[in-house]
Chain A
Amino acid sequence: GENVEQHPSTLSVQEGDSAVIKCTYSDSASNYFPWYKQELGKGPQLIIDIRSNVGEKKDQRIAVTLNKTAKHFSLHITETQPEDSAVYFCAASKGTGRRALTFGSGTRLQVQP
């Protein structure tokens, strides 16, 4: 089955710096890659997603890039703020419609004021 690896496990940056989280996936048939943010005591919240027919997607300070050949995708957060501190998960799924998500192990991002 699909395997998603995520790095780093922890990341500490200064407020205003950029943060980059990287994931690799094993199944070349995967075609949907969402990123979730999970704050303490809450469920994962979708922050951005990308499909395999697109190489890059941006939403304000957040961007995601996808390299299908290398089977990796990355989350980029610019101008980080203390409220960006949380655990971030990448995920992958394949097919259309109703499909399970395979998650990475998470990255704990801490933004120092």
Chain B
Amino acid sequence: ETGVTQSPTHLIKTRGQQVTLRCSSQSGHNTVSWYQQALGQGPQFIFQYYREEENGRGNFPPRFSGLQFPNYSSELNVNALELDDSALYLCASSLALAGENIQYFGAGTRLSVL
């Protein structure tokens, strides 16, 4: 077990709705990254948070947004859900040290958009 926990494990939403996914990072880790994994594909980077600020973003539209809290936990928010947003959303935590980038993943939240 990595110590990274995500909630909920499964979620069903309808097109146009909004969703919030949550992640608790491994103890001592200060950086959280979010990835989207479509069925049968590798994870794709959405964005990363360090010290409560966004620290890099992948090719995802602004309706994907996030937050990091003082205890380093994080939320991923998706507005105006589309069918293509159906995927496994993974959170990874890491300790940002020079030269280190080891990311530990949670089990993910499976989002289905109907």
Residue positions of A touching B, CB distance < 8 A = 4, 6, 32, 34, 36, 41-46, 49, 51, 89, 91, 93, 96-106
Contact = CB atoms under 8 A, between A and B. Distances in A.
Interface of B: 2, 4, 31, 33, 35, 40-45, 48, 50, 55-56, 58, 90, 92, 94, 96-108
Contact of A32 (B35, B48, B101, B104): B101
B56 A46 contact: no
Contact of A96 (B58, B99, B105, B106): B99
B105 A100 contact: no
B42 A43 contact: no
A43 B107 contact: yes
Contacts of A41: 107
Contact of A98 (B2, B4, B55): B55
A52 to B, nearest CB: 11
Nearest to B1: A45
B102 A46 contact: yes
B2 A45 contact: yes
A49 B97 contact: no
B42 A100 contact: no
Given A100-B58, A104-B42, 7 more contacts: A45-B2, A91-B42, A96-B99, A96-B100, A97-B98, A101-B33, A101-B35
Contacts of A98: 31, 48, 50, 55-56, 94, 96, 101
Nearest to B44: A103
Given A97-B99, A101-B45, A43 B105 contact: yes
B107 A100 contact: no
Nearest to B94: A98
A112 to B, nearest CB: 22
Given A100-B45, A102-B45, A44 B90 contact: yes
Nearest to A6: B42
A44 B45 CA distance: 14
B90 A43 contact: yes
